[in-house]
Amino acid sequence: MCGIIGYNGTDNAIPYLVDGIENLEYRGYDSFGCAFDSSGKIAIKKDAGRVKDVLSKYPIDQVYSNRGIFHTRWATHGAVNRVNAHPLTDCTGEIAVVHNGIIENLDELKAMLKNHKFVSDTDTEVISHLIEEEVSKGSSMESAVKSTTAKLVGSSSFAVLSSRDNSVYAVKKGAPLVLGLAKSGTFVSSDVPSFLKYTNKVVFLHDGDVAVLKKNGYKITNLYRKEPNHSVTMVKLSYEEVDKGRYHHYMIKEILEQPALIKKLLDSGLPDIKKAAGLINPSATVYLTGSGSSFYAATVGAYMMVKNGIKAMAIQSQDIPLYRRLMSNKDTIIIVSQSGETADLINSLDSISGIKKIGLVNTKGSTLANSVDYWLDMSAGQERGVAATKTFTTSAIMLTLLAYYTAGKEKDILPDLRLLSLNVYNIFVPSLYAAVDKVAAKLKNKENVFFIGRGIDYLSALEASLKLKEVAYIHAEALDAAMFKHGPLALVDRDLYVVSFMTKKNGPSTSNNIDEIKSRSGKIIGISEENDRAFDFFIRSQPAGAFSFITQIIISQLLAYKVSVLKKIDPDHPRNLAKSVTVK
């Protein structure tokens, strides 16, 4: 996953694009590069490293240019270095391309371009040479871009800048792209917040769209449809909502936004949940799928459905084709995704044609939001931290509600949601912060940590362990507490820390398991509603009925964040990761 932003208009593009690309760094931060019009020629500045570090080498704030394309990279093909940073050019240096995706037929295409000199190890460079080849045969830039796109196999959205004309070209093929319509010109970007400071008027591009951005307007054609239908949408997000504001990191800002999101969900009346529940045949099977944190949210949904007598199964997104043979047209598949662009999910859509699809997605206009039979909007707002926080809890809450509504038990679950809405505020109190800080100081130098729990507490452990891995670089493993004695107990010594989640229902059984660890000198960190004699450290979670696991998860997010900060790691930009994975 990479970030792309371009602009063509009557104003100076450079400050717009610098601001925009900094707002896209959550999509990748291995390297940064830009191309812009410089007196009729294409100027390129790029290098490995974060945007601000690369820009410190190139004073482009002194440049005036009306059009340009900028890129921040998450490496897939080729090492992280200056040569492989985007933009990539053709042999003449007159055509520059920035790209998000993977070209699956790269070798075949390079074999067609024997007379061209390739300088990088990237797949992206083949795009600029293919366009050059078409132009050399007499094609216009627009025709050359379209012909090139038709040759590419795989998810490949890209933008093109050329000295041969005064336009910026953008192609949406798999990975997300959206236009922003400002008074002074037109933006194209991987995500709306990159230009939200300047306009909230957007056009969501569809697969196969080729957009031509001119100084005084734009046009869109589609490779697959003669008359593509594009409406202008007024995005309700404000720039202030997506800005970091007074917080040091987006991660802590987004953790602290969760109480307000829970109250918003409660106040909404939940009509969308009710409608989605009405689409599910309670006698058939519900499959739930996602990747990363979204998969763990799907496991919560499956657990809650089974608990309420509904046949359900959580499957990882890459395994959808395997499980397709078990599915009937009476079944439903619920697809969970923050971005709506996860490659493993999108690539599986064809295999589940004919199956009713409900999407729980946080991004309007995304591929998944546009591909399902019914879209449930997470409405969690923009999440800029790479590690999912508020989108995980929002999706887990909504899936729990959906399970109860499908079972006809909405009256049983709504009091628990009200209790959660009240008690979640009791997490963010000085005594809890002090307890989290104390535990974080103990964990910061550890190489291995276990997270355990039973039932829903085990599902909390899965997500909590992922957070510590992502932002603190500590090997963390989640286990069902009942399984700990079947092998992992051999790893226990006086240096091992085990985080135990214990809601009231699962407390007695889990207590026996932690006694086994404690008797072998292991250290126990309890995240629980009540203290236990075996806890060496105790962080109090809050009761919320069926939603008690949510308060555990929020505490574990805080803990991972605190450990990350103590280790002087940037939790918003963990190494090797990007917000969503738009490649296979």
Active site residues: 2, 579
Token pair for 271: 């009509």
CB 106 within 8 A of CB 78: no
> Which residue bears the tokens 């104390």?
438
Q: Which segments of 344-447 are extended strands (E)?
A: 356-361, 374-377
CB 62 within 8 A of CB 75: no
SS3 266: helix
125-136 vs 141-151: helix crossing angle, rounded to 10? 130
Reduced 3-state DSSP string for 114-174: CCCCCCCCCCCHHHHHHHHHHHHCCCCHHHHHHHHHHHCCCCEEEEEEECCCCCEEEEECC
Q: Read off the DSSP letter of residue 30.
A: S
> Which residue bears the tokens 């083949």?
126
CB 346 within 8 A of CB 367: yes
CA distance 78 to 76: 6
What are the counts of helices (DSSP H) followed by strands (DSSP E) for the chain? 18, 24
CA distance 212 to 168: 6
CA distance 553 to 394: 11
In sequence order, which ranges of 279-316 are alpha helices (DSSP H)? 293-307
| Rg for the chain, CA atoms, rounded | 25
Token pair for 42: 């294409």
Residue 459: Cβ within 10 Å count: 26
CB 511 within 8 A of CB 519: no
> Which residue bears the tokens 């891995």?
469
Strand pairing category for 185-189 and 3-9: antiparallel
Give 3-state DSSP helix, strand, coil % of the chain, rounded to 5: 40, 25, 40
Evaluated on CA atoms 511, 513, 517, 520, the torsion sign reads: positive
CB 397 within 8 A of CB 296: no
Token pair for 556: 């574990």
CA distance 160 to 16: 18
Q: Which segments of 443-516 are extended strands (E)?
A: 448-453, 475-480, 497-502
CA distance 179 to 309: 45
Residue 266: Cβ within 10 Å count: 16
